[in-house]
Chains A and B, each alone.
Chain A
């Protein structure tokens, strides 16, 4: 049997997933012999059919997942909302913070990239601010903004700012001299040069920065929401941990992973769109 490489890879992926699920199944098998007394005890505790060792079985996991998938947008009050709503809130915050960061980082990166003076003058600030964990800004944000939801947007803003800023500046600064010289000999106006020569030339680098920023933003939003609480997928994870519902936690983790992958795919596409072959 001859299989193409992608087909082989898909097969291997399926096998690995199978093994993982099987191990999970083994690990969550009911603890056999010492049952009689325990079952009675369990029945007394009111959850006779449920296993209490912690990790959910595959069947329980499937049940929870099915509930979430079939009813993602229910709203039973402030602490009990569907996973779709939670996800929407997180995405909205990420999008808001990320967009604000792009609005600041790309024009500023342009200026820094074009001016060696600004590059050197702002470099110390960037070098010091860049390695700060975005969550370290949280107390300051909460104090100054006095609103937890806006604070988490600010945290997303600050963490997506640096990769975009640095990549934009780098991309703009390293536009090939030849292209700039072409623009100069053609007496192209500065604005036209910025939009028709420098922007397309630096677009792949800028887009790489945006992709990195989005990846970081999605990592940070979960932690930020755990901290500020209220709504969102990060808060959902923490809330379900407090409820000791590991099935919900695991499902939320999967949702976070798949959403992150989707975001990365979208930016990968965009990156491909602006990349040119030289």
Chain B
């Protein structure tokens, strides 16, 4: 394969309190990420999304399987992977600037005070927090806190960014603006991102690929939905594109219906199929597995010619 990030046959079994091994939360999870790609993972609670993210971050060990990033196996946490945590995880005794500076100083211990100051300021400006540098997290709104978390993760300039449902606790309006900002930053920096979300619209807006997980235990990646919407999409134009509804319906159908059914088919074909529901020719969910990628790329090319 030779992708930038290769995840192979990951599985996680939490041992029983009695000591007996029980059913794996997820198994045989394999996928790849190209450099500069934004991948979202969607699935119901309990399918092990956060565990997968923690394994990618190196914070948790998988029971079996390997993760290789940029030719090296992920064996522990590293500055090459920035993490934005679900609950922002800012240190409440530090100001906005100090929180980010803590990360920057960890990344480049040799840098002078002035260099760090300047670097931190750049990322504070990037997330639109100019003027709030001296505030403590307790004085910030939920959205601003998450912005600091994003700035902290970006500031160490990691090779890959891992976002664990970063906007889950935000109200819809705030979420919208921060999504826009994240999209802008990611498009500008060509950052490789892996993100967990529960929000189908968020996945369509941000993700180049959307991994759909079946329900746990024994969760798997059931489908890889290729987002065929143009990459310069924005929140405001998104819903005018006819592809948007096809993709959205596909994702919602999966979550309400098929995610459960696939779980029941234990031992079914392990390899996830790639689908492009955005393209009219590939809209029907029950297609032949092997034919799907080839067809979609042809259809994708056609779509490009048309537009």
Give me the interface of A with B, judged by CB distance under 8 Å.
Answer: 176, 178-179, 181-182, 184-188, 192, 196-197, 200-201, 203, 274, 276-278
Contacts and interface: CB of A to CB of B under 8 A. Distances in A.
Contacts of B81: 185
A109 to B, nearest CB: 19
B264 interface: no
Given A277-B138, A278-B138, A187 B89 contact: no
B77 A185 contact: yes
B24 interface: no
Contact of A179 (B76, B79, B91, B156): B91
B107 interface: yes
A167 B301 CA distance: 65
Given A276-B136, A276-B138, A277-B138, A185 B57 contact: yes
B91 A197 contact: yes
Contacts of A184: 58-59, 76-77
- Which are the 8 A-B pairs with shortest beta-carbon distances? A178-B89, A277-B138, A186-B106, A276-B93, A184-B77, A276-B92, A185-B77, A200-B93
B83 A181 contact: yes
Contacts of A278: 92, 137-138
B28 to A, nearest CB: 26
A200 B102 CA distance: 13
A182 B107 contact: no
A277 B79 contact: no
Contacts of A276: 92-93, 136, 138
Contacts of A188: 106
A182 B89 contact: yes
Contacts of A176: 89
Interface string B80-103: 011101010101110000000011
A181 B156 contact: no
A204 to B, nearest CB: 9
B79 A187 contact: yes
- What is the predominant secondary structure among interface residues of chain A facing chain B? helix
A69 to B, nearest CB: 42
A139 B23 CA distance: 61
Nearest to A187: B79
B78 interface: yes
Interface in B49-94: 57-59, 76-79, 81-83, 85, 87, 89, 91-93
A111 B107 CA distance: 27
Given A276-B136, A276-B138, A278-B138, A186 B103 contact: yes
Contacts, number: 59
Contacts of A200: 91, 93
Given A178-B87, A184-B58, A185-B57, 6 more contacts: A179-B91, A181-B83, A182-B89, A185-B59, A186-B103, A277-B138
B93 to A, nearest CB: 4
A181 B59 contact: yes
A185 B78 contact: yes
B92 A277 contact: yes
Contacts of B136: 276-277
Given A186-B79, A186-B103, A196-B102, A181 B85 contact: yes
Contacts of B107: 186
B3 to A, nearest CB: 22
A186 B83 CA distance: 9
Contacts of B59: 181, 184-185
A91 B84 CA distance: 50
A176 B93 CA distance: 13
Nearest to A176: B89
A185 B82 contact: yes
Contacts of A186: 79, 102-103, 106-107, 156
Contacts of B92: 276-278
Contacts of A192: 106
Contact of A187 (B78, B85, B87): B78
A203 B92 CA distance: 12
Contacts of A274: 93
23 contacts: A178-B85, A178-B87, A178-B89, A181-B59, A181-B83, A182-B89, A182-B91, A184-B76, A184-B77, A185-B59, A185-B83, A186-B79, A186-B106, A186-B156, A187-B78, A187-B106, A196-B102, A197-B91, A203-B93, A276-B92, A276-B93, A278-B137, A278-B138
A271 to B, nearest CB: 14
Nearest to B85: A178
Contacts of A197: 91
Nearest to A199: B93
Contacts of A201: 91, 93
